[in-house]
Structure 1
Amino acid sequence: MKIRSDILRIYQSLHTWVGITTGMLLFIGFFAGALTMFKQPLDRWISPPASHGASAPVAMNPAQLDELVRAMLQQRPEARQEFTLHLTQQENIAAPLSWTGSESGHELDLSAQRWLGTLNEVGQFTARAETPSLLAELIDMLHRTAGIPGTLGDEYLGTYLMGIAGAMYFLALVSGVILLLPTLVKDFFALRPGKNRKRFWLDAHNIIGILSLPFHVLISITVVVFAFHDLFYGSLSRVVYGDTPMFTRPAVHTSETHNVANMLPVSALIEKLQQAAPDARLQEILFMGLEGPRPVARAALLSPEYLVQGPQAAYVLIQPYTGQVIDTSMLPGQGNVWSALTIPFFSLHFGSFGGDLMRWVYFVFGLSGAFLFYSGNLLWVEKRRKNQQAKQQSNQQANQPAVIQSRATRWMAAATVGVCLGAIAAVCFTMVAGKLMHAWVSHINHAYLAVYYSVFVAALSWGFWRGAARAAVDLLAVCSIAALAIPLTSLMAWLLPGSGVWMHLSLASLSVDLVGFVAALMFAWACWLTARRVRHGPKDSVWAA
């Protein structure tokens, strides 16, 4: 397919500058997004065994669950506003009941205490408070905001910036495809290693981009929708619905209240939920507003074979006093036309279908997306040198000394290395700090932020101080050490049982250690390759020492 050269130049310029302006934000988003595919294993890996309750949720029969909830509602009236009944047993689920005493808000409360309730050995209700680890939630927040602090209205500032980056990212995808059309068939699977390192990086960039194109198009669109959904809903409401509410609820009398003593036993609610979704596994039930005019229980049901709206679960709403199933529109195949249109967007973005296999596929796609932005910036930096060389030759200055890289090129290279590798090292060290600092830090979630931003800023500063070439070698070595420290903490717990560090033997937790070990080997290999490039590459390259 032939496309005019002037049109190709326009799309090349668009692809280049859109990628440069958003690449580092999107790198962090994709790297953290890949990790969020395994939020639950991360939570299980970081949860200390000391917080595990004596009575596990799955060990309770229906009568015990009924007694547990009844006793909690009598003795802890603050929990009537909102509490969660957990029906699965994992390292990160410390007790069958948990509540905070207030409604869950939009923003993360790093200092909020969570109360845990269970029945002791003699059947008496006991409760204790803890500050829950929000490591997985903070990584998810990094995915949604790229770590940019601050809020704008009711939303995080970083969310809006990532939405803008997502729109520009879509333009980069379209322009990149157009650039590849003339040589798509010939160069589709061409990966040409050799002395021309720029050609090798370009081939790898193109192959990964084309093979994962549907995934990236989907992510770019859904990022924009998630970032600006309030604006979309507001505009749609005014234009389409006018004065009619976009989302209607049954009318209630605001003066009506309920008595928790009249609530149905949870065993009866569980039975009705299982009848509503016989093919799904009940994970937990969130009870809200039990003494208010509109009490509701939202059940999370695992259904990995289907597209679901949540990151992992489908949801059913049930009235806790009557047992009436209020809403099943978020169940697979039971929604209206609007649900049928919107649920795939959520599910395809979260990868909440197909079980663990699809999570691994999305994990690989997420890392490949991060590679696209990192390699795109490297290609831009190297192209500056080629353009300067061509300019010298056209001006008959071939005998002039080697190209001197511009300040903008050197700064872009340093920022790319510092931001991308700094984010990786910061996340790994934050995970390790969660275990090593748990025993002597009262607010572990604040410690997470302190460690992450300290490492990130240090890596970025190191990149500018040492220059891109030297800093790339140093920071890749740091990334390898940080990733290796993840399984080493578990090894330390095994060798030194009294160290205060713990190791879980579940497959999910051990998988975190295994991935950390593999990542350490890959970063060490990349460090060796980069060091060789720094020593033996072209002397006028920004990647030369």
Structure 2
Amino acid sequence: MKISSDILRVYKSLHTWVGITSGLLLFIGFYAGALTMFKQPLDRWAAAPLVQLSAADSQQLDSLINEVLQQHPSARQDITVYLKQDESISAPLRWEVHDKQDEHGHGIDLDAQAWHAGFNALGEPVSEPVKQSLLGDLIDQLHRTAGIPGHVGDEQLGILILGVAGLLYALALISGLIILLPTLVKDFFLLRAGKNKKRFWLDAHNVIGITSLPFHLIIAFTVVVFAFHDVFYGTLAKTVYAEVPMFGSRGGAPAVQYDLTELAPVADVIHQVKQAAPAFEVTQLRYMGLEGPRPLIRASIYNPDYLVHGPVTAYTGVHPYTGEVVMKNMIPGEGSDWSGIVMHFFALHFGSFGGDPVRWMYFLLGLSGAFLFYSGNLLWVESRRKKQKRDQPLPQQTRSVRWMAAATVGVCLGCIAAVSAAIAGAKLGHWLSAADINGFYLQVYYGIFFGAVVWAFWRGAARAAVHLLRLCALTTLLIPLSTLAGWLWPPSAIWAHMSVPTLMVDVTALVAGAVFWWAAERAKRRMVTATRDSIWSLQTA
């Protein structure tokens, strides 16, 4: 295919600058997003062992729910009933007590006190506070905000900024595809290794970009939708839905004042949900606003063969007192065309279909996206460095080139090292900072992240790349080493979970740590052997 050189020049400029302006933020979003594909195993890996309270049948749950709601009024606003037992669930009932309300309605309450309730070994009902690790939620928050704090109105500032970055990201993808069209067939899957390192990095950048293009287009589009969903939903509510609620009714006007003792039996609720969604398994019942004007049970329903609204499950709504299903729009195949479109946005972004194979695929694609932004910035640096001419003195690289190289190394490798350190520090943090483990995560992450950025600007990109890659390797290898320490020395404050999902966290970290150490050795060799005018040369650094 032949395209005018003027058109290619315009699109190349567009691709370069939109990639540069959004690349570092999107690297953080993609790297953290890849980890959220295994949020539950990460949470379990980081959580201290808890006394497991026995599961309960539906009749026992009815009495337990009633007792908890009478003794703990805070649970009436939001309490979750777990119908499926696994190692990450310590009890059949769980809720949180908040000292203050979130004025924005978003974010994570790090100070919330978690409680759980169930039955002890004697069959007696027990309610007790539990230590809550929010590691998975904090990584997810990093994925959605890139770690940028603050609010604009009712929305988090970081989400809005990443929404703009997602729009630029879509432009970069489209313009990059147009640039490659003339040589797409000839150069597809071509990786030219040799002395020209820039050509190798460009080939790798192009191959990953083209092979994962559908995934990246989906993510770019859904990021924009999520960031500005209030605007989209408000517009749809006025122009499409009119008087009809967008996601179904929550029970109509509160014509009847109900008493907590009138809650529908759990067995009846499950039966009604199964009638509405026979192909799905009911895994959780979340009771919300039981004393408010719109009480609701949000039932989580699971089937890996369907595209669903949530990260793992689909949802439906049940009136907690009548047992009637009042919200079906989030059940796959139910609801309007518009709600189906919205559900597909969520499902394609979360990878909430196909079970573990799709999750691993999304994990690898997320890492490939992070590589795209890292390699794109390095290509920008390499293409703008001043090259030494024959018999001329070594040129001084421009400030913009040096600063972009340092920022790329500091932000990208600093993010990796900081996330790994926060994960590895989970077990140690329970011992050092038991009262505020979630605050400990934030201190570790931001301390290492900003320290890495400062180090990169102080030492220069070439030296800092070696140091920070070694830091990435060491902090990542600390993850399996902490498990090994807990296994070899059980009396210690460190623990070791031996289930397959948590051990896979250790195995993945072991592989990643080895890759980071190998990359550090390659960077050290490059620093010595690179041409004198390269930004990665020891002489230039």
TM range (shorter): over 0.9
CA distance in 2: counterparts of 1:20 and 1:269, whole angstroms = 52
Please, which moves more after superposition, 216-225 or 72-81?
72-81
Bigger mean CA offset, 4-13 vs 304-313? 4-13
Is 1:479 aligned to residue 472 of structure 2?
yes
Q: Distance in 2 between matches of 1:514 and 1:502?
A: 16
Between 1:398-407 and 1:424-433, the stretch displaced more is 398-407
CA-based RMSD: 1.9
Match of 2:146 in 1: 146
| Amino acid in the other structure paired with 1:433 | G
Residues 1:62 and 2:58 aligned together: yes
Show the counterpart of 1:520: 513
In structure 2, relative to structure 1, the CA distance for the partners of 1:371 and 1:321 (3 Å cut) is same
TM-score (norm 1): 0.94
* Deviation of the 1:251 alpha carbon: 7.3
Query: What's the offset of the Cα at 1:247?
Result: 6.1
Summarize deviations over 1:63-103 as a string: whole Å, max 9, x none: 32222223222322332222110122333322111112468
Question: Unaligned 5+ residue runs, structure 2?
Answer: none
Q: Which residue of 1 aligns with 2:332?
A: 332
Which aligned pairs between 1:170-189 and structure 2 lie closer than 5 A?
A: 170-189=170-189
Going from structure 1 to structure 2, the CA distance change for 1:143 and 1:325 (only over 3 Å counts) comes to same
The answer as to 2:445 corresponding to 1:452 is: yes
- Classify 1:506/1:244 alpha carbon distance in 2 versus 1 (closer, same or farther; 3 Å): closer
Corresponding residue pairs, total: 533
Name 1:206's counterpart in structure 2.
Answer: 206
C-alpha offsets along residues 201-235 of structure 1, whole Å, 9 cap, x if unaligned? 00000000000001101110110110011122233
Report the Cα distance in structure 2 between the residues aligned to 1:150 and 1:319, rounded to whole angstroms.
36
| Cα drift, residue 539 of structure 1 | 1.1
The whole-number CA distance in structure 2 between the counterparts of 1:243 and 1:266 is: 32
TM-score (norm 2): 0.95
1:304 is aligned to 2:304: yes
Q: Find the aligned partners of 1:239 and 1:324 in 2 and give their Cα distance.
A: 29
Question: What's the counterpart of residue 121 of structure 1?
Answer: 121
Identify the residue that residue 95 of structure 1 maps to in structure 2.
Answer: 91
Matched with 1:544 is 537
Residues 228-251 of structure 1, C-alpha deviations (whole Å, 9 max, x = no match): 111222334455567887567477
Q: Deviations over 1:120-150 (max 9, x none)?
A: 2333322111341111011001001111111
| 1:300 counterpart SS class | strand
Asked whether the 8 Å contact 1:82–1:101 carries over to 2, the reply is no
1-structure distance, mates of 2:248, 2:481: 53
Q: Is the 8 A contact 1:81 1:101 kept in 2?
A: no
| 2:463 maps to 1:464 | no
Contact preservation (8 Å) 2:35, 2:363:
yes
Q: What is the rounded CA distance, in whole Å, between the counterparts of 1:215 and 1:253 in structure 2?
A: 42
1:426 is the counterpart of 2:418:
yes
Whether 1:53 aligns to 2:48 is no
Shift of 1:286: 0.2
In 1, the alpha carbon distance for the partners of 2:247 and 2:57 equals 38
- The CA distance in 2 between the partners of 1:415 and 1:272, in whole Å, is 55
Q: What SS does structure 2 have at the residue aligned with 1:95?
A: coil
C-alpha distance in structure 1 between counterparts of 2:251 and 2:340, whole Å: 26
What is the CA–CA distance in structure 1 between the aligned matches of 2:284 and 2:411, rounded to whole Å?
38
The Cα of 1:260 is off from its aligned counterpart by 1.4
Residue 54 of structure 1 aligns to which amino acid in structure 2?
L
Aligned residue runs from structure 1 range 4-403, under 5 A: 4-49=4-49, 51-55=50-54, 57=55, 60-101=56-97, 105-239=105-239, 249=249, 252-254=252-254, 256-385=256-385, 388-389=386-387, 398-403=390-395
Is the 1:116–1:128 Cα contact (8 Å) retained in structure 2?
Answer: yes
Distance 1:43 1:506 in 2: 13
Cα deviation digits, residues 393-424 of structure 1 (max 9, x gap): xxxx6432233211110110001000000000
1:406 aligns with 2:398: yes
Code of the residue aligned with 1:62 in structure 2: it is S
Cα distance in 1 for residues equivalent to 2:384 and 2:250: 63
2:502 to 482, 500, 509: 509
Q: Secondary structure at the match of 1:509?
A: helix
* Alpha-carbon offset, residue 252 of structure 1: 4.7
Query: 1:81 corresponds to which letter in structure 2?
Result: Q
Percent of aligned positions with the same letter in both sequences? 55
Contact 1:99–1:115 (8 Å) recurs in 2: yes
Q: Distance in 1 between matches of 2:333 and 2:27?
A: 35
Structure 1 residue 54: Cα displacement: 3.1
Q: CA deviation at 1:46?
A: 0.9
| Structure 1 residue ranges without an equivalent (≥5) | none
2:482 aligns to what? 489
| In 2: Cα distance, 1:447 partner to 1:251 partner | 42
Conservation of the 8 A alpha-carbon contact between 1:27 and 1:369: yes
User: 1:237-296 CA distances to partner (integer Å, 9 max, x unpaired)?
Assistant: 455567887567477555742111111221222233233323222221100122333321
Residue among 388, 399, 417 paired with 2:409: 417
CA drift at 1:497: 0.7
Point out the more displaced range, 363-372 or 236-245.
236-245
Specify whether residues 282 and 243 from structure 1 end up closer, same or farther in structure 2 by C-alpha distance, changes over 3 A only. Answer: closer
2:33–2:143 Cα contact (<8 Å) kept: yes
Q: For 1:308, what is the secondary structure of its paired residue?
A: coil
- Displacement of 1:499: 1.2
2:123, 2:247 → 1: CA distance? 44
Query: Using the alignment, how far apart are the partners of 2:358 and 2:9 within structure 1?
Result: 38
Q: CA shift at 1:432, angstroms?
A: 1.2
Shift of residue 359 of structure 1?
Answer: 0.3
Give secondary structure in 1 for the equivalent of 2:491: helix
> 1:499 is paired with a residue of what secondary structure?
coil
Instruction: Note if contact 2:147-2:158 (Cα within 8 Å) is conserved in structure 1.
Output: yes
Note the alpha carbon deviations across 1:166-193, whole angstroms, 9 max, x for none.
0000110111001101111110011010
How far has the Cα of 1:530 moved from its partner?
1.0
Deviation per CA, 1:10-69, whole angstroms, max 9, x where unpaired? 1111111111111100000000000011111111111111x23232x3xx2333222222
